[in-house]
Structure 1
Amino acid sequence: MALDRISLRDFRNHAQSTLEGAARMNLIVGANGAGKTNVLEALSLLSPGRGMRRAALTDMVRSGAGDGFAVGASLVGADTGADDPVRLGTYTQGAQPGRRRVRVNGAESAAVALGEWLAIGWLTPAMDGLFTGAAQDRRRYLDRLALAIDPIHARHAGRYETALRERNRLLSDDREPDPRWLDAIEAQLAEHGTALSEGRARLVDALMAEIVAQPEAPFPRPALSYAAGGPLGYEGLSQALHDHRRRDRAAQRTLDGPHRDDLEVLYAAKRVPAARCSTGEQKALLLAITIAHAALAAKGRASLLLLDEVAAHLDPARREALFERLRAGGAQVWITGTELAPFEAIADEAAVWAVAEGSVERR
């Protein structure tokens, strides 16, 4: 299964672009600022969530276009019992610029429906500081990876965040909160928080199994561990929330739960935390995780891997190893670059798209 006939209308600097005849490997080549990454971002919106840039929807609309944007693609080879491709689309309208709509085969759907058809992962230069940045960024990263494996993960994450905001609002109120309200909210937190933690833990275990199954050289092997931010399991989390109400009220926020989780990453051979590794080592570790996740996500349904400017930072040996692993994986791959030279090893088997000033042309 793979995407084809991808269309962008009034998205970023693309007034009207169509990519037809996509291959397993796809190279998007053009100068900086031409609109290469915008194509990847559009593809990333064919999954639940806010896309690879986490930008506001209004920022995605092409300057001067007043009626929103639209991104669509055909999923070919889907096992639906029919010969026709599945048409996936997402768009905004001028009347409601902050609301993203989704359609599957022309019918209005919830965003989570996109994840039932397609698993999407990506690696961008903006992720280079993942290991040294805030724990919040690593939690978001974990959830994005988990969502690509299990679309329902997004529902638990959203409901947990809603309940957490409500509990924090009650805790920060000048009046003593009604215990019955806290009981009800904490039950929701425990239910969805437990599902959230379990989904993250399953993801880390599955990723480690995939990482160990892959050859280590020339990429360093990461060792991943899930660091829980509170008691695990419904009973443990529920009890902690109840017992720590006075402490949390003094802090005016909830101090137990998966909103305090973290992803710990080591360079396995050196037993050194990724945050203390060199910049090059950190990029290689992140790439190893990305490749493992792409292989994991491709088991069972269509999968896309979006790699933004990744080859430029790899030496020839690692570039060739990357291409070999991408060939062996099950994902449809989209890679951007400013020139074709770093991709000579796969140029003959790839679809090459030239991007210039928001226009896309097949080479």
Structure 2
Amino acid sequence: MSAPSDEPERSSPSLLLERLHIREFRNLGRVDVEPAPRINVIAGNNGQGKTSLLEAIYFAATSRSFRTHRLAELVRHGAPIASARARFVERRDALQPLAREQTAAVEHKRCVVRIDGNRPPSLASFATRSPVVAFHAEELALSTGPASARRTLLDRLALFMDPQSADHRARYAQALRARHELLHRGGGAQAQASAELDAFEALCALHGAALTRAREAAVQALAPELTHAFARIAAPDLTLAARYAPGGGGDAEQAREALREQRRRDAHRPSAGYGPHRDDLLLELDGHPARVVASQGQHRALTLALKAAETAAIASVRGVEPILLLDDVSSELDPDRTAALFMFLGMARGQVFLTTTRRDLIVTPGVPSSERRDFHVEGGAVG
């Protein structure tokens, strides 16, 4: 791995989590944490609640989990409600810090959120108020795995650039499912002349085109940050390029016509042949597909660069450095992997929470003791 360059790092005002109060969340009963402003190491054996602590931070900031879509899974067995309450502070030079309290709770399988005790205008406004970026073991396959993971990355960034993109994505998926059911129910024959089908295709076209435009803008914001990050983490003689490969188009009328033309074929497909559900972020090394030519080490560097680029792009859009959550990415690391991880950590300019089973691996020279705090998690208790 290459050494850090002498290029000065770009930085934004920092977002800090000052206090966290967790109640009945996963296997965490009652946990109150006051983190350090820079590095927070959460150590313990597997299955003790380390990841749940990170998940609670993510939930308090976004109203979502990075592990599951089923809210009921977040509630501790036998408890009626799970909640995470966080005090976030934005520190800006020469300006009064901006503080707020965000609360997310699961009540009767429903998510309830508050900012300073008030209901926010929308979940999107809640999720973009205090940006956090999570990096967990499953994302180590970002560059080699299915396109859905890369679409999710683009959607997270698009949410900060255009909060309406989340609504477009949800409405597109709903209309696409309805179109698919109509086509398969009629075998493509009766449904072709259906006014109902026309209506669902109009919705697919409208929201799909908007989603395509949002993702295209996200790639434009991500690509230069990715090039910058990869140049620092990987070998300097490699050239990385990121390119948006849309499955649909940004013009709603053209999208509507394309869906109409493909009705007969789509009636016999598992999914529509046109639309942003087929989008991908193509990654190329020296002009060749990274999935094909990259070594294991290069894929590792590429994944870390993608997360660093996501963090930097959100900081640029939001105007504040996101909080970084790293879940167990230090386990079973060889020397090269450790070097890549700490290169990545060195690029992080904001507050970091990191879980590990090996506290001895997490060495942070240059970080004052007042800016690092170590926690131990055992049996759902944090000390």
Unaligned runs of 5+ in 1: none
| Paired position in structure 1 for 2:263 | 245
Could you state the TM-score of these two structures normalised by the residue count of structure 2? 0.83
The CA RMSD over aligned residues, in Å, is 2.7
Between 317-326 and 291-300, report the one with greater CA deviation.
317-326
**Aligned residues of 2:216 and 2:244 also touching (Cα < 8 A):** yes
Counterpart selection for 1:9 from 23, 26, 37: 23
Q: 1:121 to 1:323 in 2, by over 3 A?
A: closer
CA distance in 2, matches of 1:63, 1:24: 33
CA contact (8 A) 2:165 2:214 kept: yes
SS at match of 2:345: helix
Q: Distance in 2 between matches of 1:226 and 1:47?
A: 28
Distance 1:332 1:114, change over 3 A: farther
Instruction: Name the counterpart of 2:224.
Output: 209
Distance 1:214 1:116, change over 3 A: closer
Once the two structures are superposed, residues 104-154 of structure 1 have per-residue CA deviations (whole angstroms, 9 ceiling, x without a partner) of: 111234322222312222211122233333333332333234335443321
CA distance in 1 between counterparts of 2:215 and 2:98 reads 35
Going from structure 1 to structure 2, the CA distance change for 1:32 and 1:149 (only over 3 Å counts) comes to farther
Which residue pairs with 1:166 in the alignment?
178
C-alpha change, 1:101 and 1:187, in structure 2 (3 Å) is: same
Establish whether residue 190 from structure 1 lines up as the match of residue 201 from structure 2.
Answer: no
- CA 1:5/1:337 → structure 2, altered by over 3 Å: closer, same or farther? same
Answer yes or no: is the 8 Å Cα contact 2:85–2:102 preserved in 1: yes
297, 308, 321: which one aligns with 1:280: 297
Q: Would the aligned equivalents of 2:90 and 2:320 in 1 still touch at CA under 8 Å? A: no
Indicate the percent of aligned positions where both proteins have the same amino acid.
33
Change in CA separation of 1:277 and 1:84 when aligned onto 2, cut-off 3 Å:
closer
Please state if 1:303 is matched with 2:322: yes
Unaligned runs of 5+ in 2: 1-14
> 2:134·2:324 contact (CA, 8 Å) conserved in 1?
yes
Q: Which runs of 4+ in 1 moved over 6 A?
A: 81-84
CA 1:253–1:215: 2 relative to 1, 3 Å = closer
Specify which of 309, 312, 315 is matched with residue 292 of structure 1: 309
Letter in 2 for 1:170: L
1:244 CA drift (Å): 2.1
Q: Give the match for residue 57 of structure 1.
A: 71
Partner of 2:375: 353
Inter-partner Cα distance in structure 1 for 2:270 and 2:379: 49
TM-superposed deviation, 1:291: 0.8
Structure 1 residues 218 and 270 mapped into 2: Cα distance closer, same or farther (>3 Å)? farther
Q: Distance in 2 between matches of 1:284 and 1:31?
A: 27
Residue-pair matches, total: 352
1:318 is the counterpart of 2:329: no
Partner amino acid, structure 2, of 1:62: R
Native 8 Å contact 1:135 1:261 kept in 2: yes
Cα 1:275/1:111, change in 2 over 3 Å: farther
Partners of 1:131 and 1:214 in 2: how far apart?
15
TM-score for both structures, normalised by structure 1 = 0.87
Deviation (angstroms), 1:158: 0.7
8 Å CA contact 2:233, 2:344 repeated in 1: no
Partner of 2:248: 230
Cα displacement string for residues 33-72 of structure 1 (whole angstroms, at most 9, x for unaligned residues):
221111111122235474211242222211232x121011
Instruction: Say whether residues 1:176 and 2:190 are aligned partners.
Output: yes
Change (3 A) 1:240 1:55: closer
Q: How far did 1:343 drift?
A: 2.1
CA distance in 2, matches of 1:172, 1:140: 28
Question: CA–CA distance in 2 between the matches of 1:255 and 1:112?
Answer: 29
* 2:66 maps to amino acid: M
